[in-house]
Structure 1
């Protein structure tokens, strides 16, 4: 259920961003800034300020201005601003994973009974029992992972896209031989690979059951990066590539520095306060073994006949 909600959320964000980019691409032929009811204000309040910011940073690197380095600087600043939030969410997610592992036997019992439930009343009662289990043990239904970092970056994606598309100088600029205004397959593939590597590193140290649950979610980020970069200027792909490299660094810090500490903290907490038993263990009552009834043996006809014959012989004597 949690995984389905996350997939719907990420899928919705991906759809919105794709529709936005495809709508903006209709004006690429004449390269005129949008003036419509929806995209005009977005360009005015996001795209235009981003153009000025990129140009100002690019001029700091000499003449001619280096717009590629300006995009990388912006990526670094955005990631540094989001770093405390992302680390906080990573810590929460790790704590939730450890608590989930502690209540796993009870969850297995609930899931088994959910599959075997026949009526809606039974399913409702079992779902209520699962919610009580989560609540009493301080486990979040969302697993501690939110979409806030992606939501915060959506305006930056839009601003960067519009800045590159509608600034003629920025559109024609190059960085290490790559045209920032044109789509670039190499940048797209590299950006996608960084998020695949980041997803793989995030699975290190997790139990197999949790790895299976998270694999689908780990594929969402590379898929979104690939399709968005493929439909966008290389400048936006460069933003994703740099962001992916920083995400790998963040994941390494989380997995190899924070995770062992958090695991030890949660283990100590569980020693002092063991998981609350919400699911009642099913006790199988063993019926006492009943002694088999003694069945009276039926008299044998042959033996009766034999007895009568022996009696006759004895009488004749």
Structure 2
């Protein structure tokens, strides 16, 4: 758990560093300097413009298509993350047995607990850190997508469906928050995380945060969040179902 927290802290640090590498309100152009701008944000901005031209100037459709395309590219990593989460879930009863066996807090007992826990991981071929790796790969891409949408000037001057892409909307943020809640609920369903009070708090706090932010930011970003979360909901449903069926027929292979 400590290692996972450290990895999470490292991811947050990466987000801060990447966000600080560029001015979020500064338009992205071919003259924008820096590795982050040149190799991440600007190429995505150009793809958004290119796709919009294919769709008769519809930047809304452009954002939707590009978001889905990026999610498809990241799909193998997300599958790996879900499988890792399920594998950890499958061995939770054995981990709890070890924790009860070595309940004493003295250094020697805790060392034995760590050793036998690692042996348990090796026995079932479970890497407790495997679920964190996809986060490191995804975050720069998703942050770059966020920057590209926010900093592409052409986006703000167009509308899509009932809302203006460059202005906040009042309906889309509610959809974004609802989709975020549903996605997190599905991810936690049947897992050990559902028993964790802190995770349960995040289940409600994160959708509220997304909703509030979406009320402030341009609706193009809310559209990006909605499409991404709806894709994740569909992905979770499609991937978890065969996993759960496999769990009923065999579980973790001994």
Shorter chain as denominator, the TM-score bin is 0.7 to 0.9
Question: With structure 1 as the length reference, what TM-score do the two structures score?
Answer: 0.64
- The 3 A distance-change label for structure 1 pair 174 and 55 is same
Counterpart secondary structure, 1:141: coil
> Separation in 2 of the partners of 1:92 and 1:120?
29
Matched, 1:46 2:34: no
> Separation in 2 of the partners of 1:141 and 1:93?
9
- Counterparts of 1:214-293 in structure 2, within 5 Å, are 216=199, 219=203, 222=207, 225=210, 229=214, 232-266=217-251, 269-270=253-254
1:223, CA displacement in angstroms?
Answer: 6.8
What RMSD, in angstroms, separates the aligned Cα atoms of the two structures? 3.5
Q: Which runs of 5+ in 2 are unaligned?
A: none
- The 3 A distance-change label for structure 1 pair 15 and 95 is closer
Per-residue CA deviation, residues 206-227 of structure 1 (Å, 9 max, x unaligned), is 4xx5521386186386477457
Q: Which runs of 5+ in 1 are unaligned?
A: 271-317
In the other structure, the counterpart of 1:13 is 11
In the other structure, the counterpart of 2:80 is 88
> Separation in 2 of the partners of 1:15 and 1:180?
30
Matched, 1:124 2:102: no
Matched, 1:204 2:196: no
Question: With structure 2 as the length reference, what TM-score do the two structures score?
Answer: 0.78
> Separation in 2 of the partners of 1:97 and 1:184?
39
Moved over 6 A (4+): none
Counterpart secondary structure, 1:266: coil
Q: 1:140 aligns with which of 127, 133, 138?
A: 127
In the other structure, the counterpart of 2:158 is 173
How many residue pairs match? The answer is 252
In the other structure, the counterpart of 1:295 is none
CA contact (8 A) 2:214 2:221 kept: yes
